[in-house]
Amino acid sequence: MPELPEAEYMVRRLEEYAAGAEIIRSRLGRHALGRVRRYHRRAKNVLIELETGWTVRVQLGMTGHIYWIPNAKKPPRFTRAAFALKGGGALVFEDARRFGGVSAVLTAKLPEVLRGYGPEPLDRSFRWQHLKAAGARLAQPVKAFLLDQKRIAGLGNIWAAEALFGARIDPARAARSLDDAEWRALHTSIRRTLRRAIANTFKVTSRPEEFPEADLQWLAVYGREGKPCRRCRHPIEKSMLAGRATFFCPHCQH
C-alpha cells in the first residue's frame, strides 16, 4: 500500500522522465490538459500542477501507481486513467484494486481541498513540539495516533511501526504517556525512517514503471513476526492494534 515514501518516489520519477510534459488528451476533459508546471505531493496524494491553473490530484489508495510510459498506445493492464502527452508518451495511473481516484482541481482551491491533512513530517518547519502538541492529550495508542492523517500526513502502517521501533516506543502506549525526550526521539525517528525509505526505493528500482513493495526493502520489525530483532535478537511479536497488524520488539520498545 503506497505511503509517503512511495508517493514521493512517484513524484521524483515523474520529474525525471516527464518534466514539462504537455498533456494533449485525457478522460478528465479540458481541465486536465496543458503543460505540466510541476509535480509534487501532499500526504499520499500525487499532484500534477498545470500551467492552465488546474491540478490533477491522484489519490493512490491501496494499489495506485502513477508513472510515465513511452507509448500512449500501449497502456498497462490495470490502467484506470491515462494522460496522453505530446510526443507520444503518457502518464498512466494503474490501480488494480480500484480504491484510488483521479480528479481535476483548481490549483487556487487545492489548499482548501487538502486542508484535512496534518503537517508534512519531512518539512523543515515540522518540529518535535508540533508532534507533541498533536498527540500529548490523546489516550489512544501512539501507533493509532501516527496513522491519523489529520494529525500527521503520509504515515501508514508500515512506516509508523518502523518509526516507533527506531524511537524504542511501544506502539500500544497511550500517546499522552510520552515524555519530552520520547517525543523528540519519535520525531527524529519518523524523519530518519521516511528518508531512508525513499532512498531505498530508488536503490531497488531502475525504470519508472517499477514500484517496489515495502517488503523488498530493509525493514526492522514490519512483517518480521518471530524473527530476531535486529537490535537485541529477541523475537519480534505481532499484535492487532486499532484493527491493524502491529509488529514490535517487546524487549526494545517500552
Catalytic (active-site) positions: 2-3, 44, 244
The whole-angstrom separation of Cα 88 and Cα 7 is 25
Alpha-helix residue ranges (DSSP H) falling in the chain = 4-18, 110-113, 128-135, 142-147, 157-167, 180-203
H or E segment to which residue 34 belongs? strand 34-42
The whole-angstrom separation of Cα 20 and Cα 43 is 23
The whole-angstrom separation of Cα 246 and Cα 146 is 12
Cα separations in angstroms, 243 against 157, 239, 240? 11, 10, 6
First to last CA, the chain: 28
The residue type found at 242 is A
| Chain-centre distance for alpha carbon 99 | 15
